[in-house]
Amino acid sequence: MKENSVYDCNILKLNKIHNRAGNITILEGMSNLPFDIKRLYYLYDIPAGENRGGHAHKELRQLIIAASGSFDILLDDGINKKIVALNRPDYGLLVVPGIWRELMEFSSGAICLVLASHLYDENDYIRTYEDFKAYKNGAF
């Protein structure tokens, strides 16, 4: 996971069943996602100007979706950085392990839906950028 790069984090176009009464998007582990879903959480009521994230994971894979509104995700593998804008509920960003991420520029009322491959485990987090650089350089 240490060797993963920002180029392994791709936007996935999700399915959308449309009819005149609205849309539905369906996510099912392993049938249309590259991992089984063990956990789902969502960020909401995010005050203007606040950022979230600011960490990396050692094993966790996530699909991040703007279920409502929009926000930007900064991805950083220690060498390359890229910023991805999410603003539609039928697109998701796959974030692989070993990537520093920051979520920013939340629109008013934005809902950030996250599907995760593992249960919550604080030991899977890398919480400081200094530790992240050390991890990428093989320190642990």
Residues that bind ligand TYD (CB under 6 A): 39, 41, 43, 52-53, 55, 120
Enumerate the β-bridge partners of residue 126.
56
Is 18 among the catalytic positions? no
Closer Cβ to ligand TYD, 43 or 126, answer by number: 43
**C-beta nearest to ligand TYD: residue:** 120
What amino acid is encoded at 70 in this protein?
A: S
* Ramachandran angles phi, psi of 24, nearest 5°: -140, 140
What gap in Å lies between CA 19 and CA 91, rounded to an integer? 18
Contact by Cβ (8 Å): 113, 42: yes
Least distance to ligand TYD, CB of residue 14, Å: 21
In the complex, the smallest distance separating the C-beta of residue 127 from ligand TYD, rounded to whole angstroms, is: 8
Residue nearer to ligand TYD on the CB measure, 33 or 126: 126
Nearest distance from residue 10's CB to ligand TYD, in Å?
21
CB 110 within 8 A of CB 72: no
Active site residues: 55
